[in-house]
């Protein structure tokens, strides 16, 4: 007999990791009261609790605590739209308690096929808005700062380009076109180190690099680099290839299989929370395994969404070139880089990083700097700057930082 | 459609319309509707139709908005001035490329698994065309990008189905078969069958028999085909070449070409997505020139161009901008369509909302068959 939300028991969570099991058991009465179109999605987050970032844990704790305290009638009203969705018996019969990610994949496919995806989307948006209104975030310990470098050789071969950088960001900040690049990278690293010293909390400061990462003086900054993950990417691609060769599973099943991979299965050791995050980047991100520019953009997005750091530094590096059909057919050639394409990718990735920062609390007080590394072009956004303007002042990065931090 | 969705769809359409007006001097269709109906220009029954769909929509930001116009010079300067342009085409179905393209081809929202190798449930336009007009199998063809589109030519509907569909050519599969006879190499690019899930590379099964059958039809040897591929920059270029050979050899009355290069957006590389749009823009102009240069097609062919759907907007927190089409937001559901050819009014924008499933009944009205199981409605502005 399939498990329904109403007959959930603490022992149903026996296979959960320790902290997740404790949390699910503590709130089992609440979980029994939630509709099936919503509950497995909550469990999908909850089952990962042991590897969640502090900010994610806070959000989940706050959500559960708020829902548990709400009156039953209020809770029914909050979930009425989810409860009205019509689900097939086959979904109810899946092991949604222990495999909520698999349930989510099937639910998504069913909602699209049954034309209920729009109703679900509306219900989800309304729910999040109500939750946000009822559980306002805590004040930030310091104003949020985002730094993006389009760097490490991301430029055309001859050093010049007609591509207009920061086109999408210019309406929101000040475009500096006489930046003194001297010592710029060190300035950025110093700013990050200084912010960590002022607020030394794990996962609140991040450095993501699309190539080889610079060494940081402070080990407390969470660091992710495309190059350092090379062996993990190779192991993962090997696993994907083997799964594909069996030709027995579709993309949803493939995604579910990859999502269950553990860091130790691809040779990782060390901080389990950070390792799980990095594996997620490579198994859930599309293109992150192949293109370093995609990796940096997605890693920045996920770090902002999940860890909600007060400092995020993302540095784009040249990605490999996508070879045309004719070249592929001519046989294997050494893989080359695509500096011009990477410049465009990095510029768009910078814009998306700023957009994702805007979705976090304290966005109106946050600051952002994007710099074409080693060049004279940068753009800064901050509460004290006049949006949509241009500055021809000869400034170095430290001077620009002093205006936004 | 909710009021909020309606307003948003209209704003998408309005920005597209405003830009087209300023860029091309196009007029509004509504102002012309009092004129004589276009059907007075209708041609006798020699009419042909070429449908070009983009698998992997292009957003307005990268096309019709001022910042994107540089990516579509051929559409803007060569095709739209000759076209009736529908600025608000809504897709209410599943936003996956095979199932959505199948929905375009059936005029009904199909609901099967996007990644399954299954025929559409509803009759396809090819079956309506061939059954009602008693057309031979050689008169309807599909040239499609990937293995997943292998079943698109013929539905599983019992009233139509078996033996009434279109011939389907999958150039990438043919190429795999051609190459497999010449030793093994690194053909990873070709084996990437679908950009929608870069994690998943379904192995393309190259069928030697199919290769020789199509080779006979196109009068193209395996060597010639391989040489051609070696000179092509992308799978879409290969598809357009194959389509051209079909036009020259069989001159089908109904030819459906699906371009797919721009769907590399799923890899997250913005520059490659732009490259795909620019290539599709050029290939659309090439197809139009092919139509004008082939005696069997010149002066009697209507061409339709439309993306299967859009892509997620930058403002949608649940998505990742241009990369995917997963949110079902207004931008990912709202796209455009243009029709051009004899009897089609030129330089006209139609603002009213239409649906992507309206294409098939419109083709029915143009060619003279009944799309009786379609949920769409004929687009009167081009009939």
Q: Does A164 touch chain B (CB under 8 A)?
A: no
Put simply, the answer to whether B199 touches A255 (Cβ < 8 Å) is yes
Put simply, the answer to whether A325 touches B237 (Cβ < 8 Å) is yes
Q: Does A87 touch chain B (CB under 8 A)?
A: no
pLDDT at residue B27, as a whole number = 56
Partners of A345 on chain B (C-beta within 8 Å) are 268-271
Res. A105 pLDDT band, cuts 50 70 90: confident
Partners of A154 on chain B (C-beta within 8 Å) are none
Cα B324 from Cα B267, distance rounded (Å)? 9
Per the model's pLDDT, the better-predicted residue between B250 and B147 turns out to be B250
Stretch (H or E) spanning A102: helix A100-113
Closest CB from A288, A298, A332 relative to B186: A332
Q: How far is CA A248 from CA B42, B188, B194, B255, in A?
A: 51, 19, 16, 33
Chain A nearest-CA residue for B204: A247
Partners of B116 on chain A (C-beta within 8 Å) are 250
Cα A382 from Cα A400, distance rounded (Å)? 11
Give the residue-averaged pLDDT of B344-364. Answer: 97
Least confident of A62-66, A253-257, A276-280: A253-257
Chain B nearest-CA residue for A297: B268
Our CA dihedral for A236, A305, B315, A316, rounded to 10 degrees, sits at -60
Q: Average pLDDT of chain A?
A: 92
Q: Does A337 touch chain B (CB under 8 A)?
A: no
Give the residue-averaged pLDDT of B239-247. Answer: 95
Which residues have C-beta within 8 Å of that of residue B329, sequence separation ≥ 6? A121, B312, B313, B316, B319
Put simply, the answer to whether A325 touches B234 (Cβ < 8 Å) is yes
Put simply, the answer to whether A352 touches B321 (Cβ < 8 Å) is yes
Put simply, the answer to whether B203 touches A355 (Cβ < 8 Å) is no
pLDDT at residue A79, as a whole number = 96
Q: Average pLDDT of chain B?
A: 85
Put simply, the answer to whether A113 touches B112 (Cβ < 8 Å) is yes
For residue B317, the distance in angstroms to the closest alpha carbon of chain A comes to: 8
Q: Does A73 touch chain B (CB under 8 A)?
A: no
- Give the DSSP letter of residue B234: S
Does B30 have pLDDT greater than 50? no
Both tokens assigned to A394: 């000869």
Cα B26 from Cα B10, distance rounded (Å)? 18
pLDDT at residue A126, as a whole number = 93
Put simply, the answer to whether A254 touches B199 (Cβ < 8 Å) is yes
Partners of B235 on chain A (C-beta within 8 Å) are 325
pLDDT at residue B199, as a whole number = 47
Closest CB from B267, B270, B328 relative to A117: B328
**Do the beta carbons of residue B319 and residue B64 sit within 8 Å?**
no
ipTM of the complex: 0.93
The number of CA neighbours under 13 Å toward the Cβ of B243 is 30
Chain A nearest-CA residue for B196: A286
**Do the beta carbons of residue B60 and residue B18 sit within 8 Å?**
no
Put simply, the answer to whether B199 touches A251 (Cβ < 8 Å) is yes
Burial class (CB in 10 A: 0-12, 13-18, 19+), A389: exposed
Least confident of A105-119, B115-129, B236-250, B287-301: A105-119
For residue B254, the distance in angstroms to the closest alpha carbon of chain A comes to: 28
Partners of B186 on chain A (C-beta within 8 Å) are 328, 331-332
Partners of A236 on chain B (C-beta within 8 Å) are none
Task: Specify the residue for token string 């490329």.
Answer: B97
Q: Does A301 touch chain B (CB under 8 A)?
A: yes
Stretch (H or E) spanning B335: strand B334-340
Least confident of A349-353, B162-166, B231-235: B231-235
pLDDT at residue B23, as a whole number = 60
Portion of chain A with pLDDT greater than 70, in percent? 94
- Pick the closest to residue A311 from A378, A357, A364, A348 (CA basis): A357
- Pick the closest to residue A111 from B366, B326, B138 (CA basis): B326
Least confident of A136-145, B3-12, B99-108, B303-312: B3-12
For residue A219, the distance in angstroms to the closest alpha carbon of chain B comes to: 30
Give the residue-averaged pLDDT of A319-324. Answer: 87
For residue B29, the distance in angstroms to the closest alpha carbon of chain A comes to: 31
Least confident of A177-186, A229-238, A310-319: A229-238
Put simply, the answer to whether B327 touches A121 (Cβ < 8 Å) is yes
Closest CB from B115, B189, B272 relative to A325: B189
Chain A nearest-CA residue for B237: A325
Closest CB from B113, B235, B274 relative to A325: B235
Q: Over the stretch A10-54, which tens digit does the pLDDT of each residue have?
A: 999 999 999 999 999 999 999 999 999 999 999 999 999 999 999
Q: Does A325 touch chain B (CB under 8 A)?
A: yes
Put simply, the answer to whether B268 touches A283 (Cβ < 8 Å) is no
For residue A118, the distance in angstroms to the closest alpha carbon of chain B comes to: 7
**Do the beta carbons of residue B257 and residue B239 sit within 8 Å?**
yes
**Do the beta carbons of residue B60 and residue B266 sit within 8 Å?**
no
For residue A399, the distance in angstroms to the closest alpha carbon of chain B comes to: 31
Does A389 have pLDDT greater than 90? yes
For residue A127, the distance in angstroms to the closest alpha carbon of chain B comes to: 14
SS3 for B252?
Answer: coil
Listing DSSP states for A203-220 in one string gives TSEEEEESSSPPPPS-TT
**Do the beta carbons of residue B366 and residue B302 sit within 8 Å?**
yes
Our CA dihedral for A116, A122, A124, A130, rounded to 10 degrees, sits at -150
For residue A226, the distance in angstroms to the closest alpha carbon of chain B comes to: 15
Q: How far is CA B144 from CA A362, B11, B313, in A?
A: 48, 32, 27
Q: Does A248 touch chain B (CB under 8 A)?
A: no
pLDDT at residue A332, as a whole number = 56
Put simply, the answer to whether B269 touches A322 (Cβ < 8 Å) is yes
Q: Does A355 touch chain B (CB under 8 A)?
A: yes
Give the residue-averaged pLDDT of B108-112. Answer: 94
Alpha helix stretches (DSSP H) within B256-358? 270-293, 330-333
Put simply, the answer to whether A112 touches B95 (Cβ < 8 Å) is yes
Task: Specify the residue for token string 């290839």.
Answer: A241
For residue A361, the distance in angstroms to the closest alpha carbon of chain B comes to: 14
Q: Does A344 touch chain B (CB under 8 A)?
A: yes
Domain extents in chain A: 5-134, 145-228+270-325+334-404
- Pick the closest to residue A77 from A132, A127, A124, A133 (CA basis): A127
Partners of A301 on chain B (C-beta within 8 Å) are 320
Partners of B234 on chain A (C-beta within 8 Å) are 324-325
Put simply, the answer to whether B111 touches A113 (Cβ < 8 Å) is yes
Listing DSSP states for A45-94 in one string gives HHTTGGG--HHHHHHHHHHHHHHHHS-HHHHHHHHHHHHTS---HHHHTS
Q: Over the stretch B244-260, which tens digit does the pLDDT of each residue have?
A: 999 999 999 999 999 99
Least confident of A55-64, A341-350, B103-112, B169-178: B169-178
The gap between the terminal CA atoms of chain A, to the nearest Å, is 59
């Amino acid at each position: 007999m399939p498990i329904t939300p109403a007959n959930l028991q603490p022992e149903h969570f026996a296979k959960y990791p320790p902290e997740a099991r404790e949390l699910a058991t503590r709130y089992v009465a609440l979980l029994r009261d939630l509709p099936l179109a919503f509950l497995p999605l909550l469990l999908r987050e909850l089952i990962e609790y042991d590897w969640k970032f502090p900010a994610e844990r806070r959000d989940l704790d706050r959500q559960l605590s708020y829902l548990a305290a709400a009156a039953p009638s209020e809770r029914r009203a909050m979930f009425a739209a989810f409860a009205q969705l019509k689900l097939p018996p086959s979904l109810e019969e899946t092991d949604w308690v222990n495999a909520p990610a698999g349930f989510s994949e099937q639910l998504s496919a069913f909602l699209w096929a049954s034309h209920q995806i729009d109703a679900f989307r509306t219900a989800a948006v309304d729910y999040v808005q109500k939750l946000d209104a009822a559980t306002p975030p805590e004040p930030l310990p310091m104003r949020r700062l985002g730094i993006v470098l389009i760097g490490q050789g991301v430029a055309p071969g001859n050093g010049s380009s007609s591509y207009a950088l920061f086109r999408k960001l210019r309406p929101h900040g000040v475009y500096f076109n006489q930046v003194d690049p001297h010592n710029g990278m060190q300035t950025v690293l110093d700013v990050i180190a200084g912010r960590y010293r002022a607020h030394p909390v794990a996962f609140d400061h991040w450095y993501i690099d699309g190539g080889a990462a610079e060494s940081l003086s402070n080990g407390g900054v969470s660091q992710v680099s495309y190059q350092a993950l090379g062996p993990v990417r190779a192991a993962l691609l090997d696993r994907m290839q083997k799964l594909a060769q069996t030709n027995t599973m579709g993309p949803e099943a493939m995604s579910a299989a990859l999502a269950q991979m553990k860091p130790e299965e691809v040779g990782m050791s060390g901080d389990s929370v950070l390792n799980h995050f990095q594996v997620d980047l490579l198994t859930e991100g599309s293109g992150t395994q192949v293109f370093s520019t995609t990796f940096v953009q997605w890693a920045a997005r996920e770090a902002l969404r999940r860890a909600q750091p007060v400092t995020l530094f993302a540095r784009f590096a040249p990605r490999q070139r996508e070879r045309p059909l004719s070249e592929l057919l001519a046989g294997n050639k050494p893989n080359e880089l695509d500096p011009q394409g990477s410049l465009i990718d990095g510029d768009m990735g910078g814009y998306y990083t700023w957009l994702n920062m805007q979705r976090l609390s304290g966005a109106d007080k946050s600051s952002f700097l994007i710099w074409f590394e080693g060049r004279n072009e940068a753009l800064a956004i901050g509460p004290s700057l006049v949006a949509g303007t241009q500055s021809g002042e000869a400034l170095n990065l430290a001077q620009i930082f002093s205006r936004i931090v | 459609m909710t009021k909020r969705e309606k307003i948003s769809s209209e704003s998408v359409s309005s920005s597209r319309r405003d830009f087209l007006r300023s860029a091309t001097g196009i007029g509004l269709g509504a102002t012309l509707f009092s004129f004589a109906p276009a059907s007075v220009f209708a041609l006798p029954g020699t009419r042909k139709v070429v449908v070009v769909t983009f698998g992997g929509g292009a957003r307005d930001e990268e096309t019709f908005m001022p910042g994107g116009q540089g990516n579509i010079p051929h559409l803007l300067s060569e095709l739209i001035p000759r076209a009736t342009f529908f600025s608000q085409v809504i897709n209410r179905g599943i936003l996956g490329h095979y199932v959505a393209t199948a929905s375009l081809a059936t005029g009904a929202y199909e609901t099967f698994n996007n990644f399954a190798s299954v025929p559409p449930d509803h009759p396809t336009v090819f079956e309506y065309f061939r059954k009602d007009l008693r057309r031979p199998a050689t008169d309807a063809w599909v040239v499609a990008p990937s293995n997943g589109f292998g079943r698109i030519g013929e539905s599983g509907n019992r009233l139509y189905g078996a033996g009434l569909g279109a011939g389907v050519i999958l150039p990438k599969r043919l190429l795999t078969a051609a190459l497999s006879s010449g030793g093994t190499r690194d053909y990873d690019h070709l084996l990437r069958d679908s950009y929608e899930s870069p994690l998943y590379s379904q192995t393309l099964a190259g069928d030697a028999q199919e290769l020789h059958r199509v080779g006979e039809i196109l009068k193209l040897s395996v060597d010639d085909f391989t040489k051609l591929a070696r000179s092509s920059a992308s799978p879409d270029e290969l598809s357009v070449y194959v389509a051209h050979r079909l036009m020259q050899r069989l001159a089908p009355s109904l030819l459906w070409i699906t371009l797919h290069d721009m769907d590399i957006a799923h890899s997250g590389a913005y520059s490659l997505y732009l490259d795909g749009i620019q290539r599709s823009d050029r290939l659309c102009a090439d197809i139009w020139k092919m139509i004008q240069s082939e005696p069997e097609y010149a002066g009697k062919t209507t061409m339709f161009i439309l993306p299967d759907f859009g892509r997620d907007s930058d403002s949608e927190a649940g998505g990742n901008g241009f990369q995917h089409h997963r949110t079902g937001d207004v931008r990912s559901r709202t796209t455009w369509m243009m029709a051009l050819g004899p009897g089609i009014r030129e330089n006209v924008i139609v603002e009213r909302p239409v649906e992507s499933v309206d294409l098939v009944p419109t083709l029915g009205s143009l060619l003279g068959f009944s799309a009786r199981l379609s949920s769409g409605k004929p687009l009167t502005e081009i009939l």
